[in-house]
Amino acid sequence: MVLFLVAAFFAVIAAYFFFKSEKETKKLFETEDELQKQTDRERNKLLSIIGSMPDGVLVLDTSLTPYVINDAARRFLGITAQSPSFADIAKPFPTKIPLAESVKSAVSKNTVVTFHDLKLSDQTFQLMITPVTEKNGATHTVGVTILLQNITEEKSLEKMKEDFSNMIVHELRSPIVAIKDSSKMMIKDDSMGQDDKTNMLTLIYNQSNKLLGLVNSILDAARIEGNRLVLNKTISDVGQIARDEVELFLPEAKKKNMTLVAQISKDLPLISVDTVRVTQVINNLLSNSLKYSNEGGTIQLIVGTDDAYEKDKDKGHIIVTVKDNGIGIAKDEQDKLFSKFGQIITDKTSISTQKLSSGLGLYITKGIIEAHGGTLLLESETGQGTSFSFTLPVARLMEHVSAIIEKDKPSGEHFTAPPASKMVN
């Protein structure tokens, strides 16, 4: 809203000097040609300012004759005529917005007229009609500015935030209710057998973990947004991390009659990463592939190095790819995945699957990889499966070890770095 008011202010100022320049031009034309040229130059500067504004700006006189229409306004209103009339301007507006009457009201009452959440085609705007006044003895109105600010993205973000908040409330409520009901049953039922108690405690434990996982996701997202994500790096074997995750997800893959395979290059370099966070990333990507792949599908986890590493072992990246032949993601939907509240809902996605996703997973994944100095890449087409790849830079191992030794060694003592194979966590 503040930016909207600032834009309106500059539009009114520019329009005021525009009308003033018109009058001054006529006056100066009668006196000196050079002064007229100077006035024209100043007028053209004002027109350039209006023309370059990202918001739609229109300047009308009191008889509704258009003086200025910038490119943004033409684009928003679909105006193609070189010299459009007021009817051309008013045509795209819905009938509930009487533009002519609103302009006349702004002029006669010398007041600003505002419309919020104005729908034009498939976009949302704020509309402000502001009178342009001039003092020449008495104050009188010489015209109006119409400012159109496109707030489609802001509205979309508001909707995403609202949906996200509703989802979080639902996801928090469900485990809390389950924990409350189970514990209440255990307290009230003295005759409950040991097996029933064990089942109840297992339920409480599982729901507590679900609750903790959701809270941790919210906290991670907040840390990433505030650039406060801390990495606890150690010398690690990314190939082994990948193998462990495949073993973890094999039972779930078998339940869905899916094939989960790992293709891990030999002689991968040990690199400096936060093992817990990299595990979290691979876990999230494998979980998504299992969730959005059809029964009987195949998921591949591929770990290797790029060409830069093959040329120089002190440079380059390890590349980790999770590839499936699932439902895929439409090109125009892919950017949403990496936003904080992004979640894609397709006809092939079940309601239960949609509820299982908070929309934070890939936002957190991207933040973790970028904090390591890597990148997260996506390749997908609808019905053709999805491939997520991320890179992790190959740090100079001995430099990392030397830094640790230099930090920890007492003065006057000499330390020898242990073999790399013994430093793997």
Residues 256, 328: one domain? yes
Closest C-alpha among 38, 53, 74 to residue 3: 53
Amino acid type, 316: G
pLDDT of residue 20: 55
Within a domain: 221: yes
- Check if the beta carbon of residue 271 is closer than 8 Å to that of residue 316: no
Within a domain: 392: yes
Within a domain: 243: yes
Give the helix/strand (H/E) hosting 139: strand 138-150
Strand, helix or coil at 154? helix
pLDDT of residue 369: 96
Within a domain: 425: no
pLDDT of residue 416: 33
The backbone torsions φ and ψ at residue 123, rounded to the nearest 5 degrees and listed phi first, read -120, 160
pLDDT of residue 391: 96
Residues 367, 290: one domain? yes
The domain spanning residue 165 has which CATH number?
Answer: 1.10.287.130
C-alpha span between 425 and 419 (Å, rounded)? 13
Token pair recorded at residue 23: 């009058």
pLDDT of residue 425: 32
Residues 125, 27: one domain? yes
Residues 160, 139: one domain? no
Within a domain: 114: yes
Within a domain: 414: no
Which residue segment(s) compose the domain that 348 sits in?
234-400
Residues 240, 349: one domain? yes
pLDDT of residue 32: 58
Token pair recorded at residue 384: 């053709």
Residues 145, 19: one domain? yes
Residues 62, 115: one domain? yes
The backbone torsions φ and ψ at residue 287, rounded to the nearest 5 degrees and listed phi first, read -60, -45
Mean pLDDT by 10 residues, the chain (425 residues): 47 53 50 65 75 88 90 92 92 89 91 92 92 77 91 85 75 84 87 88 89 86 88 94 94 92 93 94 93 90 92 90 91 78 51 52 92 94 91 69 47 36 34
Which of 128, 150, 172 is the C-terminal boundary of a domain?
Answer: 150
Report the domain count for the chain: 3
The domain spanning residue 330 has which CATH number?
Answer: 3.30.565.10
Let me know how long the chain is: 425
pLDDT of residue 413: 36
Which of 134, 150, 166 is the C-terminal boundary of a domain?
Answer: 150
C-alpha span between 93 and 119 (Å, rounded)? 8
Residues 203, 298: one domain? no
Residues 203, 265: one domain? no
The backbone torsions φ and ψ at residue 189, rounded to the nearest 5 degrees and listed phi first, read -95, 95
Residues 144, 284: one domain? no
Within a domain: 195: yes
pLDDT of residue 189: 84
Q: How many CB atoms within 10 Å of residue 13?
A: 14
Within a domain: 419: no
The domain spanning residue 38 has which CATH number?
Answer: 3.30.450.20
Long-range contacts of 173-178 (CB under 8 A, 24+ apart): 174/207, 175/207, 175/208, 175/210, 175/211, 176/207, 176/211, 178/203, 178/204, 178/207
Which of 150, 184, 212 is the C-terminal boundary of a domain?
Answer: 150
Closest C-alpha among 106, 127, 104 to residue 115: 127
Residues 238, 366: one domain? yes
C-alpha span between 56 and 147 (Å, rounded)? 6
Contacts of 13 (CB under 8 A, 6+ apart): none
Residues 175, 104: one domain? no
- Check if the beta carbon of residue 132 is closer than 8 Å to that of residue 144: yes
- What is the spatial order of strands in the sheet that 259-264 belongs to? 259-264, 298-305, 317-324, 386-393, 376-380
C-alpha span between 85 and 383 (Å, rounded)? 49
Strand, helix or coil at 241? helix
**DSSP assignment string, 386-398:** EEEEEEEE---HH
Residue matched to tokens 């050079």: 34
- Check if the beta carbon of residue 240 is closer than 8 Å to that of residue 203: no
